[in-house]
Structure 1
């Protein structure tokens, strides 16, 4: 049985175990934290969101197995350019729909018939794949590095700019990941410092010029409001009714050992208990011990990502794993930081744990790419271990005799 499972679940086994543990936690905490949501939107059927989460987790595992067992890693490099163009097209279409008043109010979701998804999820993976491809090819000279920087930063500005119009936190997360990839890819610090300084100046400009920008153009007012609430505090905190206040209360009530599975009270009052603040509900029910355990799982995943990178024999797979691992770990740390009050409130779910639909499938694609590279590394090591057979012609044998 173990041999059969080993042939199916290829790649880094530690990552597979982490995904299994996070899946079990996801099912438990989603079922517990969606009670109020079920009464609002599912006619009181509290099992609905549990079954929904189970379906998407299962579909995610199926997608990862397909990627690891069927799709070669080099395919991602071959389609990188097309994925970036496709992402820009989807993001542009989403922005156009928003200005036209079509679709979801925040402008993040694109609905195509019965299917709705966030194009930013596709754009994140596409831009990381493209960046990995360019960094992998342009490493020989300083001129190559400068060419790589220009090509990467061009598409980064376009994609992050389009995402920025409706989702600042995702735009900033993706931008930080690309900057980290370029730093690891030996892009000169003077270029990166110039970009960071420009980005900081843009944030300052948005903060002081938010009142001059209409809400229909960007979320500048939302960004300014979140910055002010983080620095000066939220006026609504005096009443104790903000999402951040509920999250802190959940962590406080959870204490070290928690209140027990299904005993969360705070989740009944939080609008995003099952997504953006799900870590707080985990601590409320299972305590700081399990909360620390969740953080430890993501740190182990980060360590395994480093191991996979070091074992890679080619540059593209190494940069691909670097970018996707950093993206997932950054997102997890942001969710944990927001839930604990260490960071301003954003809209980042906890990867593979928060309630999700198509977003879970896109997350599984990121994990699938990492596992595919890990499997490729294992195959390469097995090939290197095989003894080299040298066929000696018969006439040479006769001469030796």
Structure 2
């Protein structure tokens, strides 16, 4: 076992201890604050807390045994965010917390598997067209066999659980784009033809890239999953710009976005409804705008330091355990708590981009950029929707919102990002 790895993982566990203390204090505050009537502070609440702490600690120990040289800050950040989500789910509805904890165990197992079996993640670059095919099939299935939730038909219903396939396609999209861009970045940068005097790639060179992107967006529009479609679109632009450093793609992407948004507003009722609510939610307070208005009331009533854990009224916000968990956090932990959560996500994005910079090959760098962009964009889009900076799109807040598909996919994202970090660390020692 490498001493540097042991020291890194040891520091990681010290940070995890702070997260464990934070979660235990949160549980104690819920009990002392009188939430125990609904919480029924018994064996399950304590078991969830202990199980969460052990899951992250065991992951760190496992990585030390396996001489894993990945970033030591991402796991503690994930632990704090996950703990916050579980605390608020316990406070809102213990049933959701119990199910989320079950999904956390699955997600932790996925993370352990990915960081062990997929350390040689470069083999994934050979299967980009298989990923494109799998992603297309995964987006088609809910259209024909799925169920509608929250206005989006993006769920497959099984007897014991439901799966949101578009969550998993996020990872497939990043892998496809990273592989294609790494192989063709010179052609996409220099171009083989010209338009208005500017070098641009030919249809043959950029065709597969645009085709995969367009198919995903069209299928998501049919599912009415606008939030995920926006994440796909922005991730595509981030990765193309990272690969080519050409503002040409960003400008054209923004033009396409504005035109698409204008057309969607006039064609799709659900798009027009979201935009109208964003412009003036008070006009629709008693109908479709109720959720946004209650969220704004909750955030406003939280003030600087919040009403206190267990002292707010998050139950007044529909779907508070999924789309609006950030509003519940700000109501009870105040502006300070909300900014704290945002800072944690910003550190996550910073570490992810640092991993991309340290990567030793283009596929690794682009994959890290794509995964980090996915995380950062999703956080921005949902928080901006909750505070009415953008129209509400209905995506989850990573690691915090209730949702098994989202939690497992975000742990998978974390594992792939850590693998890039591990490879860079291993090669630096050579």
Deviation at 1:193, TM superposition (A): 3.0
**Counterpart position of 2:123:** 75
Deviation at 1:340, TM superposition (A): 1.6
Asked if 1:327 is matched to 2:374, the reply is yes
**Counterpart position of 1:110:** 156
SS in 2 for 1:107: strand
Asked if 1:134 is matched to 2:189, the reply is no
Q: Is the 8 A contact 1:181 1:322 kept in 2?
A: yes
If asked which structure has higher relative contact order (CA below 8 Å, sep 6+), I would say 1
**Counterpart position of 1:33:** 92
**Counterpart position of 2:73:** 14
Q: Is the 8 A contact 2:277 2:289 kept in 1?
A: no
SS in 1 for 2:186: coil
Q: Distance in 1 between matches of 2:288 and 2:234?
A: 32
Q: Is the 8 A contact 2:154 2:165 kept in 1?
A: yes
Q: Is the 8 A contact 1:33 1:264 kept in 2?
A: no
Distance 1:227-1:205 versus aligned 2 partners, 3 A rule: same
Q: Is the 8 A contact 1:103 1:111 kept in 2?
A: no
Asked if 1:204 is matched to 2:250, the reply is no
SS in 2 for 1:26: helix
**Counterpart position of 1:165:** 222
Q: Distance in 2 between matches of 1:371 and 1:171?
A: 26
SS in 2 for 1:130: helix
109, 113, 119: which one aligns with 1:62: 109
Asked if 1:373 is matched to 2:429, the reply is no
Distance 1:238-1:372 versus aligned 2 partners, 3 A rule: same
Listed one character per residue, the Cα deviations across residues 107-157 of structure 1 (whole Å, up to 9, x for unaligned) are 211235545311211221111110011111113342488355332111000
Q: Is the 8 A contact 1:97 1:107 kept in 2?
A: no
Q: Is the 8 A contact 1:134 1:148 kept in 2?
A: no
**Counterpart position of 2:272:** 224
288, 312, 330: which one aligns with 2:335: 288
Distance 1:168-1:286 versus aligned 2 partners, 3 A rule: same
Q: Distance in 2 between matches of 1:103 and 1:254?
A: 33
Deviates more, 1:287-296 or 1:333-342: 333-342
**Counterpart position of 2:38:** none
Listed one character per residue, the Cα deviations across residues 322-362 of structure 1 (whole Å, up to 9, x for unaligned) are 01101111111122112222221220111011111122111
229, 252, 258: which one aligns with 1:194: 252
Q: Is the 8 A contact 2:231 2:374 kept in 1?
A: yes
Structure 1, unaligned runs of 5 or more? 35-45, 211-219, 384-401
Over alpha carbons, which structure has the higher Rg?
Answer: 1
Deviation at 1:230, TM superposition (A): 1.8
237, 244, 252: which one aligns with 1:179: 237
Deviation at 1:202, TM superposition (A): 2.5
**Counterpart position of 2:308:** 260
Q: Is the 8 A contact 1:149 1:187 kept in 2?
A: no
Deviation at 1:300, TM superposition (A): 0.5
Q: Distance in 1 between matches of 2:77 and 2:294?
A: 28
> What TM-score, normalized to structure 1?
0.83
**Counterpart position of 1:391:** none
Distance 1:65-1:245 versus aligned 2 partners, 3 A rule: same
Asked if 1:340 is matched to 2:399, the reply is no
Structure 2, unaligned runs of 5 or more? 1-5, 11-60, 193-199
Q: Is the 8 A contact 2:282 2:293 kept in 1?
A: no
Q: Is the 8 A contact 2:323 2:382 kept in 1?
A: yes
Q: Tell me the matched-pair count.
A: 357
Deviation at 1:29, TM superposition (A): 1.1
Distance 1:148-1:331 versus aligned 2 partners, 3 A rule: farther
SS in 1 for 2:154: coil
Asked if 1:359 is matched to 2:406, the reply is yes
SS in 2 for 1:109: strand
Q: Distance in 2 between matches of 1:58 and 1:156?
A: 32
Deviation at 1:18, TM superposition (A): 0.4
